[in-house]
Amino acid sequence: MNKMKLLPVMAFKGIKQNRLVYRPYLLACFFSVFSYYLFSSLLHNDLMMRLPKAAYAWMMLSMGKGLLAVILLLFLLYAGSFVQKRRKRELGLYSLLGLERKHIGIMLFWENLGLYLISVSVGILLGFVLNKLMFLLLLRMTRLNVEAAFTFSIEAVMETIRYFALVFFCLLLRSLWGFYRMKPTELLSESKKGEKEVKRIWLWSAVGLFCLLGGYHISVTSKLDSMIFTDFFLAVLLVVLGTYFLFTSGSVAFLRFLKKRKKIYYRPSNQVTISGMLYRMKKNAAGLSNICIFSTMLVITLTCTVSLWMGMDQIAYFDDPYDVTAAYSENSDVIEKAEAKAEELAFKYGQKIKRLDCYNSIRLSCGKEDGSNAFTGIAGYDWADQYGVTLLTLEDYNRLENESQTLNEGEVLFYATGMPFGFDSVAFMGMKAAIKEEPERIYPYPQAKNRMYNFYSDYVIVVKDQETLDSFVTAWAEENGVTDLESFLHSGVRHLNLLLDGKEAERTVMVSEWMEWCQGQQYFLAIENGLAGREENRSLNGGLLFIGMVFGLLFFVCLLLIMYFKQVSEGYEDQDSFGIMRKVGMSDDEIKATIHRQILLVFFLPLAGALLHTAAGLVMVNGLLAALRFFDTALLIRCCVGVAAAVALLYAASFWMTARTYYRIVRPSNFFK
């Protein structure tokens, strides 16, 4: 009975004696609980469901919480493995001194229970203190302007308690498995062992290179189509596998190759450095691959976040180029009254009218095969092969663009919102027309700046006059079996669109009043508030930015802690090795130089790998952002370069701070002065 009472005390003393590794581990647990509780409390807050346009943010937070749960479980299992590795010598000693295995198992239970209670308590308390701040940050980033008190959510607390009970139960099972499967003598030496060396090194090196190049190929050649997200996850999987195999096998194979080159290896500095690196790679390459992967995730996440933030207005105006868009039947005549009303309201609210566009158009859904200049009917085509074709008269085009273009019989202007059409002629339902020119822009139909992606591509065909437009419409109707041809010919829409420049609050009021006026006019069909559409876009992207910010911080914390655990682990492994090197005659300066070369080379290899992965993945990131209407490749590249430089500096600073722990472990009292 006394022994059972002593076990919790022993568990506490074990944590205290190993505080060098338990302190960062507890910090990781605190941050993990805080992150999960943050997402959960935001989702369980009743206010979230009452916010205007909050469905986008709620959806993004739900997806983020699911992904976060997976990442936190894997990260804590990985971090826990370093902690348990340091405890195995102590557990082996307990076993040799007569403590039964069941008692050690109970001690491990008390240890995990104590860590669980401390982590959950501190994490939830930290979340409660900072939650209102994070909630206000979310509102700020999503532009959901409300004033409300942030309430405490017991549902979020219970969900966090249940989730981390599962996580720490998994950690306990891992600890028990690692203890029970080994003999006491094996436990005593386990703390000095690194990861096991992979067998068949050259085979797995080739597999790693194949996976990495395959992932790069998918990333570089990916297209913005319905398979973009499948390609993304496949590319990520291949790059992760390739990174792991190349660090665990390829690096060892390369160092063995250098070792066989006598002119390189048999030099004092090279011999010690190559031998030391070969030893490190055999034992610790798995950890380095994780550092490389987390560094890549950090750079890409921050690149996407910064790019979306800087390109927010560009994205918002892509889908909604006008503040308000009204539609009337084609034979309506409201333009003069609309202009007069707009000028009246603009003067009233202090607004400047940038554009007031009135034009007729009809939009048709057509089929088109890749590499073809022929548009056909929609029957028998997959949705991905269907395109929107808008027919516009030359008179309306000249009015919209303030041009004075002319067209001969059988000529058209052809405009693509995606990649250039690239043909001298177009065949529309069997009707052929020569393409006089591909205009650079038509305002209501914004064009992707890089024009690399055709997934959202629409086409505008500018024809000579209304008679030519009717002939195109007739050909489309006959091709698609439209029977009521007369009414279909008169189904065109007259657009009346307004774009303002002025203070946002007054502009919102003016748009509402002008919309009300437009809806009261004869032949009114529909109206769309572009200001509201832009706000919905900003809400969606704001939710993504918030998640990107949280995940960027999470990846950085994971990276920092993995580096710290690696430094501590290697410090204890190398402590005796450097003592032997001094005994065989190496000076302190030579040992210091050797340590610096090995540490710098080994720990900056993951950074080089991360930058290489990022460069290869930037093409696919460009495509994924294009799905959100972000097409500014030049801005993306600038953001990526800036983020990569900032992450490299953070990496260097983090490495320097964690390396100090390594030096304190390996040096004797007069070492590294």
Whether the CA torsion 8, 10, 14, 15 is positive or negative: it is positive
**Is the Cβ–Cβ distance between 643 and 303 less than 8 Å?**
yes
Which one has a higher pLDDT value, 611 or 597? Answer: 611
Whether the CA torsion 180, 185, 187, 193 is positive or negative: it is negative
- Whole-number Å distance between alpha carbons of 318 and 554: 32
Fill in the amino acid letter for 25.
Answer: Y
Q: Does the structure show a pLDDT above 50 at 545?
A: yes
What is the CB-side half-sphere exposure of residue 306 using CA atoms within 13 A? 18
Please give the share of the chain, as a percent, with pLDDT higher than 70.
68
Q: What is the mean pLDDT of residues 518-542?
A: 79
Element (H, E) at 86: helix 55-96
Beta 324-329 vs 493-501: how paired, if at all?
A: antiparallel
Q: Does the structure show a pLDDT above 80 at 500?
A: yes
Q: Does the structure show a pLDDT above 70 at 12?
A: yes
Least confident of 69-83, 279-293, 426-440, 542-556: 279-293
Name the pLDDT band for 490 (thresholds 50, 70, 90): low
pLDDT of residue 493: 75
Token code pair at residue 90: 């102590």
Q: What is the DSSP letter of 29?
A: H
Token code pair at residue 566: 């690696």
DSSP string, 330-349: TT---HHHHHHHHHHHHHHH
Q: Does the structure show a pLDDT above 80 at 470?
A: yes
Name the pLDDT band for 247 (thresholds 50, 70, 90): confident
Spell out the residues 6+ positions from residue 483 whose beta carbon is closer than 8 angstroms to its own. none
Distance of CA 508 to the CA centre of its chain: 33
Instruction: Give per-residue pLDDT as tens, 98-110.
Output: 566 677 777 778 8
**Is the Cβ–Cβ distance between 531 and 507 less than 8 Å?**
yes
- Whole-number Å distance between alpha carbons of 136 and 156: 18
Which one has a higher pLDDT value, 161 or 567? Answer: 161
- Whole-number Å distance between alpha carbons of 268 and 271: 5
Q: Does the structure show a pLDDT above 50 at 311?
A: yes
Least confident of 103-112, 338-347, 438-447: 103-112
Q: Does the structure show a pLDDT above 60 at 294?
A: yes
Which one has a higher pLDDT value, 472 or 546? Answer: 472
Which one has a higher pLDDT value, 513 or 317? Answer: 513
Neighbours of 213 (CB within 10 A): 14
Beta 324-329 vs 524-529: how paired, if at all?
A: antiparallel
Q: Does the structure show a pLDDT above 70 at 244?
A: yes
Residue 461 bridge partners (DSSP): 391, 414
pLDDT of residue 1: 45
CA nearest neighbour of 562 among 665, 666, 663, 655: 655
Spell out the residues 6+ positions from residue 219 whose beta carbon is closer than 8 angstroms to its own. 231, 235, 239, 616, 617, 619, 620
- Whole-number Å distance between alpha carbons of 625 and 538: 14
Q: Does the structure show a pLDDT above 80 at 300?
A: yes
Please give the share of the chain, as a percent, with pLDDT higher than 90.
5
- Residue ranges of the domains in the chain? 1-193, 196-322+559-673, 352-501
Residues recorded for the chain: 673
pLDDT of residue 670: 44
Name the pLDDT band for 165 (thresholds 50, 70, 90): very high
pLDDT of residue 434: 93
pLDDT of residue 489: 60
Q: What is the pTM of this model?
A: 0.71
pLDDT of residue 141: 63
Q: What is the mean pLDDT of residues 571-595?
A: 65
Whether the CA torsion 538, 543, 546, 549 is positive or negative: it is negative
- Whole-number Å distance between alpha carbons of 115 and 175: 13
Distance of CA 630 to the CA centre of its chain: 14
Instruction: Give per-residue pLDDT as tens, 58-80.
Output: 665 676 677 778 777 877 887 77
- Whole-number Å distance between alpha carbons of 418 and 450: 8
**Mean pLDDT for all residues in the chain:** 76
